[in-house]
Structure formats: structure tokens, C-alpha cells
Amino acid sequence: MTPFDALKAQLSAVVPFAAYVGVTLEEIAEGRATATLAQSHNTSNHIATMHAGALFTLAEAASGAAMAGMFLERLAALRPVAAGSTIAYARPAKGTITARANVDGEKAALFAALDGEGKVRFPVTITMEDAEGREVARMSVDWHLSALAKAA
């Protein structure tokens, strides 16, 4: 099992809302992640497409996994918070939706900011596609990471 596989299992366990909705983390790597959500009765809206809130949950979970993958070796000493987000819906989403998240920023620069200031803020961009590869939505999540205070 790779460290990214262990992270995937841990994130799936510690984010109960995403699991409740049905989000599956498929892959986590350094600064990127893929997650899926199958449409069901519980994730649908009044016009039989994926509910906007379900799409938001899918994208936010993928963004958190990408962020965690970027900071994997330091994650236990950090406090990550999603500080803001924007989402744009391109077309009705039906069936299984795949979210692909990528950290916007170079690892060395992000770590340098964290080391210099004790915190760093950066966006993660997420694209969501249906099974035919058509973009259904795009989202950006601004993550804020701060170093945990060390015990005296």
C-alpha cells in the first residue's frame, strides 16, 4: 500500500458527509485527485439530474484529496480549511460524474510560503464530467493551511 492509498482510506473514513452522499475517492497523487459520484434517487433533484449540492460535495471532496496529496508528508502538522469556493454549472449532470482536482501552484513555492509564514492559501481547480466526457461543472476551492501550534 502506498502512502497515497493510505491517505485515500483515511480521507474516506474522516469525511463522513462525502461518504454519506456516495462520493468515492478513486485516486490521490501529489497535488491531484479523482473522485466519482453515481447519481441516485438521493443525489437527484426535481428534474432528474444530479443535485447541485451533490456536485458541490463531489468537487469539494476531490479538492481536499488533491490538497492532502500535495501536503501528505506534513499533513499531520497542519490545519486545513476550505476558505472559499466558486462553482459554475455547464450542463445538466446525469449518471456517474467524475471530478478531477488539481492544486494550482508549485509544491516548492507552497512549502516555502508555509515555512516562511506558518500558513499558505492556494486554489484547487476541479472539473466535473459525465460518463461521455462532457463537462458538467467547474469549481475552484481556496484552501487555507496553517501550522498547528507545537506543544511547549
58 and 97 Cβ atoms separated by less than 8 Å: yes
Give 140-151 pLDDT, tens digit per residue.
999 999 998 765
According to DSSP, the residues that pair with 99 across neighbouring strands are 35, 128
Give 104-119 pLDDT, tens digit per residue.
999 999 999 999 999 9
Q: Note the pLDDT of residue 13.
A: 72
Give 14-62 pLDDT, tens digit per residue.
778 888 899 999 999 999 999 999 999 999 999 999 999 999 999 999 9
Q: Note the pLDDT of residue 5.
A: 78
**Residue 152 pLDDT greater than 70, yes or no:** no
Cα 20–chain centre separation:
16
Give 72-102 pLDDT, tens digit per residue.
999 989 999 999 999 999 999 999 999 999 9
What global pTM score does this model have? 0.92
Answer with the residue of higher pLDDT: 11 or 137: 137
**132: exposed, middle or buried (C-beta count within 10 Å: 0-12, 13-18, 19+)?**
exposed
Directed axis angle between helix 3-14 and helix 52-70, to 10°?
140
Cell numbers 466519482: residue: 36
Q: Note the pLDDT of residue 130.
A: 97
Q: Note the pLDDT of residue 150.
A: 64
